[in-house]
Structures are given as structure tokens and as C-alpha cells.
A and B are shown apart, each in its own frame.
Chain A
């Protein structure tokens, strides 16, 4: 309805293009829908004053999600190609750079693993510097300095300004 912008005719090729990765999404939907149905089947009847049983809505949602997954698989097979989202900093002309995404994911996981032990003041700085590095910044000293300034600043800002004491982790007593 709102397709008003001229867009390059990406699917002008006469051959049918199949976006194989979309089968993965379809399978994911069927999986989630199926699990929701299974989960609903484990629920008991609700209280006597509960006219809508606790499993009623999950059954409907799970069934529809499973159906949608199958429909997506059919649409994919028939040549449905998603129009990926554009943006100011998004360049869809090149391929996808999944290596950068993997690096960012690694940095985020590292933060999850370490934050309870080291505390936000340290992992936050690592998070910022690590993400900047993954995204192509090649000035590690400046990145770490910026990250440390940000994480310390937010830690003290939350503590003093907002009254939210973020756990200090290993630096407990130092900060």
C-alpha cells in the first residue's frame, strides 16, 4: 500500500528465485508453534471461575503460528523473496557481512558471562571497545578509554543521579 519509492527491480529475472534461508524461518515458526501446542497440552483445567481456560489461547496461537510457518514454506517455494529493510547506514548492494555480526555476538556473550563477576564498570567498557573493534575501529587505546569513561560515567550516574545501585562486581569497595 505504501510502496511509493522507486526500487531497483531486483526480481526481474525470469527464473524463479528461492530464498533458501527463508525455509529456516519457516521451520523455526513451525517449531515454536509446535512447542506452544505441546506446552498448552501440559496445562490443567483452570479455576472454576476461569471461563477462558489457561490452555485456550496457547492452543489458538500455537496452531496459527504452525500454519503460518507452513504457508511461509509454500510461499518460499513459489519464489517469495523478502525485501530486506533499508536504512541510512545500510548498503544492501554488497553481500551480508555475517562475520561482523558473529564478532558482535561474541562480545555480547562475553558481557553476559563476565558481568556477574567483573561488574558493569569493567564489562561495559569491554563491551563498547569490543563492539567498536568488531565494527571496524582500529584505535584500541582510544576505544577502551572511551568505553571506560562511558561505563564509569553510567555507573556513577545511575548510582548518584538515579539512585540505582548497579552491582559493582569485582570492584566492590573500590568504586
Chain B
């Protein structure tokens, strides 16, 4: 309850509202996702108190999840990978004149799922943290290895590309003198402190994306379906509430898993609703259940993501990764001790999630027509603006043109990653967890005085390695089963999933 005292101060209320509005706007705007927005705001927020900044970021995260659905429904072009499924039925609804109902069920479903998800988060995160805090370095090391493997191998269809991305991230993380000796610094004193993670995040998300879009800019305008004020009839309510709850049940656990994300639960929710519906004939033509379920699922998964982030310090989505960077920027190390060392921050954040959720509902139902107008912003200005703010963000960290050069180099890497379908998440997680992995290993071995067997001396560590082994075995078995197929088919399976998380 003390958390609400933090969350409801006028300042923090303002930042929560700002976050929700920004998040929805960037969710709606093409080319910008919540991860990019948080990355762009990182330098600015170092002068705001950590509580306010984190509260704003949480608002952006929830708002972005919701905003993505607007483009899915009105344009048939999902803004975020988590809203791909929403487009299937949502756009059909909009085309048959039911855009208002589709937006309403998305907004209310997001609210319901977000609220339930946050309750589960409040209950679970401290419990998980209490368990994790008792673990030794070997177990912690094992959990991080599992998280890296899961993020890399379980998401996206191409394991090779996931691994390439992960090891590029680990290489970037090597730069610097953290171990006492200069590694990969090219004798550049400016690289002695390592590559600033803010620069990496901004470059990969903002510069890479803007350059990639520039290379393929759509020359013809998109058809936008006009929309009025969202509302729902009694029947729509009746058809929506069960999918909301089921979507929440899918979304939260997947979000909490190391490689969960929002893509799988939204898909599962869609399939389930199609199976359970009393009106199967409407599916494919605009069934409201097909919007309600997946939209609830993606917001619930956003809440679930915060469990490993707060309780273990593991980011499982790109946005969570960038939020973790923000916390580290304040010198706060997320992890099991967080609940003891920063109670005001954590409980304020959790309370503000409820506030953000309510604001989201209150603001977005009446504002939907305004959001739709955002889609008409001239593209040269939109992307010029992204490049402008990305440069400003990178420059304002140290006022060095060297950082801008680094930004450009990393941005070209981001462009290449999009061209060659390398997923962004493993790279980001590699950059963040790489140094911590080395540190954890060093600590474990220092305690055991160099005895390597300490790594599997704890039961939790052994259990985690077993899970890892099962995961690898399952992947290998899958690969073997696919082998006999014809070459083109095998090639297609090698291609990664269509939309990577930004």
C-alpha cells in the first residue's frame, strides 16, 4: 500500500500519464516500438529520479502493447510483433465497419489482462525473489546460461542466426578494461570504459530501423480506416469476457518464462478462441473473440515479463532489456536483493502499473480517433525525427562526437541485422548479460578456489542444466525430424519468423 503513496504523488502520476501517452503514440506510430522509445529516453531520464523514470518506462511498455493493436486493426500492419495476431480478425472487423468495437475490446481486454497480470506480478515477484536470493553464484550462473540459450534458441526459426546475434552481443560486451586489461579497445582510450550500452541500444533500435525503412520506404500511402469513438454492445461484452480471461491465462506465464515473449501466447489464444467459439463461421471475417483473446494475452505477457526482470534481473524481451539498462544507469542492479534494497522503487513501480493500466483505459477509449490521425504524419519527418533524437540521445551522454561515430557504426550493424534477418533480442541480452556472466563465473570460482566442479555443486544449478539439456535435445530432435523433407521446404524453416521483436 505504501507503493500507492509513491505512485500517486503528482510528479509520478504525471510521469505515468506521460509514459502511457508516449507508449500508445509510439505503439501506433510506424517504425517506433516501446524498446526504441525507452532507449531514446534513456539519456534524458538520468536527471529525473529513478522512481519517476521507471514508472514512465512501465507506462510506455503497457501503452506500447496497447498502441500496437490500433495499427493492426486500422491498417492491417502490426506495429509490434505482439499484435500480429490481432490484425487477423481486427482488420476484418474494421473493414466491415466494426473498427470501434475492435478497438474497444482491445482496450478493455488490455485493461483486464494488465490488471490481473499486475496482481499476479505483485504476488509472485517477491516470492520468486526470496527463493532466488538464497541461490549461490553457481546456480545464478546456470540460470543466466539457460536464459541466454532460451532467448537465442527458442525464439525465431533460425538457431544459427540467433547464435550469431548472441555472440555479436557478447563480443561487444568484451570491449573495455573491466578485467584489468584492455580488451578489444584498439588502443582507444575512449573505449576503455567499454561501449556505452545506451549507444548500442539506440543504434540498434533507432538508427538501424530508420536506415532499414529508408531502404524500403513504401511509396504509396496506406489505407487507413476512419474510426469513431470505441464502444461495445451487450453482445460484444458477452463474447469478449471469456477470451480476455483465457488470453490472460496464456499471456502471463509465457511472459514470465525466459524466452516467453508475447508472440506464442497471442497465437495460442487465437487458436483456442477459434476452437471454442460458437460462431466458427465468423473467424476469418472479423470475429471479436479473435481480437479480445490475443490483445489480453499480449498485455498479460508484458506484466509477466516483469517477474524475471525484477526478481532475478533477467530481461526476456527487448523492452525489458532496455529498462534493465536504465536501472543499471542509476546504479541499481535488478535482482533478488532489489526488494530489500529499493523497496520504495519496487513497490512504487508495482503500484504505478495499476495506475498506468487505468490511465490507459481512461485515455485511450476517447482518444482513439486522435491516435488514428498519427498514422498520417509525413514519413520523411517521422524518420528524420527518429535520427535526430537518436543522435541527440547518444551525444548527450558524454558530448563526444566519438559516440556519434560509434552510433553510426552500430546503426549500420543494426541495418545489416535487419537485412540478414538476425534477431535483435539475443544481441541485446548478450550485451547485458555477457559481463555479468563472466563476473558470476569469476565469483563462483574464486569461492571454490578454482575448482570447476563447484559449478554443478548446487541442486538448483543441476536442475537448471537438466532443463537446458532437455531444451537442446528437443531442438536437436526437431531438427532431425525435419531433415528428410525436400530442400526448399527445409530452407523455409531455416528462415526466421516474420516479425522479430524490436
Contacts and interface: CB of A to CB of B under 8 A. Distances in A.
Interface string B151-193: 0001111001101100110110010000111011000000000
B179 A32 contact: no
A100 B388 contact: no
A17 B384 CA distance: 35
A65 to B, nearest CB: 5
Contacts of A122: none
Interface in A85-138: 85-92, 94, 96-98, 100-101, 104-105, 107-109, 111-113, 115-116, 120, 124, 127-129, 131-137
Interface in A21-54: 21-22, 25, 29, 32-33, 35-36, 39-40, 43-44, 46-47, 49-52, 54
B263 interface: yes
A7 B411 CA distance: 28
Contact of A88 (B222, B446, B487): B222
A152 interface: no
Contacts of A25: 416, 420
Interface centre among A113, A132, A164 (most CB of B within 10 A): A132
Contacts of A49: 446
B354 interface: no
Interface string B36-77: 000000001001000000000000000000000001000101
B415 A135 contact: no
Task: State the majority secondary structure of interface residues on B.
Answer: helix
B437 to A, nearest CB: 8
A85 B500 contact: yes
A108 B408 contact: yes
B380 A54 contact: no
A96 B216 CA distance: 6
B267 A65 contact: no
A104 to B, nearest CB: 6
A88 B79 contact: yes
B388 A127 contact: yes
Q: Which 9 A-B pairs have the closest CB atoms?
A: A88-B30, A51-B445, A131-B384, A82-B421, A137-B380, A135-B380, A83-B495, A54-B179, A91-B218
Given A11-B491, A85-B500, 8 more contacts: A1-B157, A2-B155, A81-B491, A128-B388, A131-B384, A131-B387, A147-B384, A164-B47
29 contacts: A2-B497, A11-B491, A22-B420, A25-B416, A29-B164, A32-B171, A33-B167, A44-B181, A51-B442, A68-B163, A79-B491, A82-B419, A83-B495, A85-B212, A90-B213, A100-B214, A100-B215, A100-B217, A104-B387, A105-B408, A111-B391, A111-B404, A112-B405, A112-B408, A115-B404, A120-B395, A143-B380, A146-B381, A162-B47
